[in-house]
Amino acid sequence: MDVTDFPDDLVQTQAAWNATYGALAAPRPRDFTALRRRLLLLSVRLWWHRAGHRRVLPWSAR
């Protein structure tokens, strides 16, 4: 097993995002609106996670 530098909370949030996306991809998902909102919330948490501080934005790459 490879060792990663990713924090546990980031990995857990990504796993929750994957599960939510999978639930939305199912035919006729139950509680579609709640799943969409959860996916959006998780997406925001992933984007703004403290581990992303090294992220280079396209306009700052110059």
In tens, the pLDDT along 23-59 reads: 999 999 989 999 999 999 999 999 998 877 665 666 6
Give the model's pLDDT for residue 42. 97
Q: What is the DSSP string of the chain?
A: -------HHHHHHHHHHHHHHHHHHSSS-TTHHHHHHHHHHHHHHHHT-GGGGGPPPGGG--
Query: Quick check: 17 and 46 in contact, CB under 8 A?
Result: yes
Distance, in Å, from the CA atom of 19 to the CA atom of 47, rounded to the nearest integer, reads: 17
Give the model's pLDDT for residue 50. 82
Residue 11 has pLDDT above 70, yes or no: yes
Task: Give the count of alpha carbons within 13 A of 21, CB side only.
Answer: 9
Q: What is the pTM of this model?
A: 0.75
